[in-house]
Amino acid sequence: MSSKSSLLKVILLGDGGVGKSSLMNRYVTNKFDAHLFHTIGVEFLNKDLEVDGRTVTLQIWDTAGQERFRSLRTPFYRGSDCCLLTFSVDDSQSFHNLVNWKKEFIYYADVKEPESFPFVVLGNKLDVSERQVSSEEAQEWCMESGGYPYFETSAKDATNVAVAFEEAVRRVLSLEDRHEHLIPTDTVNLHRKPRSATQCC
Ligand code: GDP
Residues 105-151: pLDDT tens digits?
Answer: 999 999 999 999 999 999 999 999 999 999 999 999 999 999 999 99
Q: How confident is the model at residue 75 (pLDDT cuts 50, 70, 90)?
A: confident
Q: What is the predicted pLDDT for the residue at 125?
A: 98
Give the full edge-to-edge strand order of the sheet including 82-88: 44-51, 54-62, 5-13, 82-88, 119-124, 150-152
Measure the CA–CA gap between 117 and 133, rounded to whole angstroms.
25
CA–centroid distance, 129 to ligand 1, in Å, is 15
Q: Which atom of ligand 1 approaches the CA of 153 most closely?
A: 23
Domain 6-182 has CATH 3.40.50.300: yes
Q: What is the predicted pLDDT for the residue at 154?
A: 98
Domain ranges of the chain: 6-182
The set of protein residues with a Cβ atom below 6 angstroms from ligand 1 is 16-22, 34, 64, 124-125, 127-128, 154-156
CA–centroid distance, 23 to ligand 1, in Å, is 8
The alpha-helical segments, DSSP class H, found in the chain are 20-29, 34-40, 73-77, 92-96, 98-108, 135-146, 161-179
Give the model confidence (pLDDT) of 6-24 as tens digits.
899 999 999 989 999 899 9
Q: Which atom of ligand 1 approaches the CA of 15 most closely?
A: 3
Give the model confidence (pLDDT) of 152-177 as tens digits.
999 999 999 999 999 999 999 988 77
Instruction: Give the three-class secondary structure for 61.
Output: strand
pTM of the model: 0.86
Measure the CA–CA gap between 62 and 11, rounded to whole angstroms.
7
* Single-letter amino acid code for the residue at 19: G
ipTM: 0.99
